[in-house]
Structure 1
Amino acid sequence: MSPRWMRLSLVLGALWAGPLAAAEGPFDLGPEQPGRIRVATDPAAIARLPKDYRFAEPGAFTVGITPGGPPLGSYATDARTVVGADPDFAQLIADSLGLRLKLVPVAWEDWPLGLSSGRYDAVISNVGVTEQRKEKFDFTTYRQGLHGLFVKADSQITQIREPKDVAGLSISLGGGTNQERILVEWNKQNLAAGLKPLELQLFDDEAARLVALRSGRADVIVQPHAQLVFVAARDKDIRQAGTLSAGWPLTSDVAIATRKGSGLVDALTLATNDLIANGTYGRALARWGLEEEALPRSETNPPGLPKF
């Protein structure tokens, strides 16, 4: 990571952390993390580790992570410690393998090179499974990739589950995003069915998208579900009306990425499924309000999203 990017990430992390840290809320963004869930070692998972695998740092599970914002991964109030749902899951995996967790903050665009070069053992940072990525990496799924459809707390809109539910509405979202691709398709379906068209309001940043919703210029905001869970918990003036798969009409799961053929993937999938079975996984997600993103079971290298 470049020094310039690191400085920018620290500033952004502090800005993200500040509002919630200063207010009462369900999320703890302090560096100490006393509520972080820990587990005992998982002998079965350890037995699946390849005998000849050399960890990036002996005795540690080194994980690349992008502190893009809470609740998935963010700098804590000390602007140094990375906290969130992904660090919590990384800790559970490290515990299961009997290893110390070492988190390495990395720019999103740099994680593939860092993983390929062996700088870290895995990446746990909201990485979606795609067929293109599977050519170079192995994947252990651990969360659903969801977009959230949120409305103002006092909105008359109660539920959004399919395209017809948004017919005639104005929707605030990011331009050039996967969300835009999906909503354009929804609009085509509605028009073909003789329903009212959508009005898509495209913005470059979340602040502008939220202003459009809160001012009444938009009826719905659509962006990654976890981000909106955080905003709703912090500000309490928006609420969820629905979710949709980030890969709609296909499913899109989030996964631990490891080097192709490194041999780690089987141990990580086994450890994840044991965490699901004993309930620890669910409690860890609930700590960050992400119960809806839970998977019933982890898979190794499932079908990924095709190239669009």
Structure 2
Amino acid sequence: MKKTPLIAVAGLPLLALAGCGAEPQATAATDTGVNTSADQKRVTTTKNDAAAALLPAKIRDRGTLIVGGGFGSGSVPLGFLADDNKTPIGLEVDIAYLVAEALGLRPDIQVTSWENLFIGIDSAKYDVGFSNITVTEKRQQKYDFATYRKDDIAFEAKKGGSWKIAGGKDVAGKTIAVGSGTNQEKILVDWNEANIKAGLPAATIKYFQNQSDTYLALSSGRIDAYLGPNPSIAYHVKTSGQTETIGKFSGAGPTLQGLIAATTKKDNGLVKAYQAALNAVIADGSYAKVLARWNVSNEAVTTSEINPPGLPLTS
């Protein structure tokens, strides 16, 4: 008999469909074919004994994988709340489910803020973070990574303009919204530093608590563009009909393909189990079905890597 997964939602604000402004969730689901109900009918997999054997005994005995999801304000299609406003769903949640099942565990999904996600990993409150976390050299000082998806980022602006972004010089003097503490922020800060050295004006960086505020600022002209994860931006461009992607880049900078990874406290003995579970679900096809379900098949990887090169300390 299949065990029922545990779901825990910690400290969540009321959530509109993030990335879709004031549009109702049902409309977005109809437009994209994405199921936003609490009844997800998720892709499933089976236990992989070799991967499960790599787990520490205390986690095997506990029977649950405690997963931190740092998407408390919602990020469609990565991680957000279902129509019942309490069930976590999305691409990152589905990948966490697959990994837990491959390890023979029940997923305990705990949704929190982006900042508190890393605090929870540091304190071992969470066994792992699945939250569109990019591998960076700075993060590798504190965390171990098992990769599972390419990381692309994009700029989104109001539709119909002539402005395109091919590199750092194209943001000079513009006002850009970005998430605090993200690799997108670091890339934008690095571009600002290069522009100042070249005698160009820096971009003004703006931060908002949630995506609905970001898109309100974009529609009202208070910002020129939003820099964020490509899956979220592609989803919003498709559902809103009012914006467009004006530039797309690797999340690890111009010389390296960025990678998204399961993230755990460094040297805690868990990363090899996560890598083995990810490679098992890649091999059995369930991973590809999850990516196709959320329209991000173009970000698939063929194998999970442990601690590959990431966004450099200076880029």
After TM superposition, the score normalised by the length of structure 2 is 0.75
Contact 1:139 1:301 in 2 (8 A): yes
> Which residue pairs with 2:279 in the alignment?
273
With over 3 angstroms needed to count, the CA separation of the structure-2 counterparts of 1:198 and 1:281, relative to structure 1, is farther
Contact 1:173 1:179 in 2 (8 A): no
> Which residue pairs with 2:192 in the alignment?
184
1:235 aligns with 2:240: yes
With over 3 angstroms needed to count, the CA separation of the structure-2 counterparts of 1:247 and 1:182, relative to structure 1, is farther
Q: What code does the residue aligned with 2:69 have?
A: I
| Structure-2 separation of matches of 1:216 and 1:290 | 29
After superposition, residues 111-190 of structure 1 pair within 5 angstroms as 111-154=117-160, 161-162=166-167, 166=170, 172-174=176-178, 177-184=185-192, 187=195
> Which residue pairs with 2:3 in the alignment?
none
| Structure-2 separation of matches of 1:153 and 1:279 | 37
| Structure-2 separation of matches of 1:216 and 1:117 | 41
> Which residue pairs with 1:247 in the alignment?
252
After superposition, residues 96-111 of structure 1 pair within 5 angstroms as 96-111=102-117
1:32 aligns with 2:20: no
> Which residue pairs with 2:58 in the alignment?
54
> Which residue pairs with 2:4 in the alignment?
none
Contact 2:173 2:204 in 1 (8 A): no
**Residue 63 (structure 1) aligned to one of 58, 67, 74:** 67
Across the two proteins, how many residue pairs are aligned to each other? 293
Stretch deviating more after TM superposition (281-290 or 201-210): 201-210
> Which residue pairs with 2:26 in the alignment?
22
Q: What is the RMSD of the two structures over their aligned residues, measured on CA atoms? A: 3.5
| Structure-2 separation of matches of 1:100 and 1:130 | 29
**Residue 89 (structure 1) aligned to one of 90, 95, 99:** 95
Q: CA deviation at 1:258?
A: 2.0
Contact 1:41 1:98 in 2 (8 A): yes
| Structure-2 separation of matches of 1:286 and 1:185 | 38
After TM superposition, the score normalised by the length of structure 1 is 0.77
With over 3 angstroms needed to count, the CA separation of the structure-2 counterparts of 1:175 and 1:96, relative to structure 1, is closer
**SS of residue in 1 equivalent to 2:264:** strand
**SS of residue in 2 equivalent to 1:54:** helix
Q: What code does the residue aligned with 1:233 have?
A: K
| Structure-2 separation of matches of 1:287 and 1:96 | 19
Deviating above 6 A after TM superposition, structure 1's stretches of 4 or more consecutive aligned residues are 14-18, 215-219
Aligned sequence identity (%): 31
Q: CA deviation at 1:121?
A: 1.8
